[in-house]
Amino acid sequence: MKLIFATQNENKAQEIQSLLPEYFKIISLKDIRCFDEIPETAETLEGNSLLKASFISETYNLNCFADDTGLEIEALDNRPGVYSARYAGPEKSAAANINKVLLELEGKTARNAQFRTIITLILNTSIFTFEGIVRGEIISKKRGENGFGYDPIFVPEGEIRTFAEMSLEEKNKHSHRARAFQKMIEFLNQLKI
């Protein structure tokens, strides 16, 4: 089964393809020649996920899914949340976002956080939503070279390594995105498409 993944983020597409059984094939926006800036103007992860999936579904008349993920830090009133990708500005710099979070957490001992992913799947105009959460904490300095986004400063519960210190396979055992996609995969398997 082929599904369009409404993302321009190649790292994310690669991560998701690695989670799927071989009979699922992720088709990227590049594959369908979509280079539009997809709107992410909602105030919630759920809203952004739906905006992105709806844009592809309505523009290309194709089954698709989209996700939105936010890092929610307890001590920062769940910021950056829906603004995670552009927390330090519209250029979406991961390094600048990390630096801003670390600066705001200076002197704080409570560093509990969670990554939350919302996936919106549109199949033949029907809309389905799936959520994945992983709890953990924010460390005070970056560690690791793998992953992307906030991975170098997030340690999931039950681990001593950051996501950026894990291989993709190891990260997927803990990942919020993996948990949400597992729910979507189970749903699709039940449909026997």
Q: The CATH number of the domain where 96 resides is what?
A: 3.90.950.10
pLDDT for the residue 172: 84
Active site residues: 68
What pLDDT sits at residue 25?
84
pLDDT of res. 192? 60
pLDDT at 2: 82
Give a three-class secondary structure readout of the chain. Answer: CEEEECCCCHHHHHHHHHHCCCCCEEECCCCCCCCCCCCCCCCCHHHHHHHHHHHHHHHHCCCEEEEEEEEEEHHHCCEEECCHHHCCCCCCCHHHHHHHHHHHHCCCCCCEEEEEEEEEEEECCEEEEEEEEEEEEECCCCCCCCCCCCHHHEEECCCCCCHHHCCHHHHHHHCHHHHHHHHHHHHHHHHCC
Which residue segment(s) compose the domain that 32 sits in?
2-191
In this structure, the number of other CB atoms found within 10 A of the CB of residue 50 comes to 19
Total domain count, the chain: 1
What distance in Å separates the CA atoms of residue 115 and residue 119, rounded to the nearest whole number?
13
What was the pLDDT predicted at 193?
A: 53
Q: pLDDT of the chain along its 193 residues, tens only?
A: 788 999 887 777 877 787 777 777 888 898 888 888 887 899 999 999 999 999 999 999 989 999 999 999 999 999 999 999 999 998 889 999 999 999 999 999 999 999 999 999 999 889 999 999 999 999 999 999 998 899 999 999 999 999 999 998 899 888 898 899 889 988 988 876 5
Phi, psi values for residue 189, rounded to 5°: -65, -35
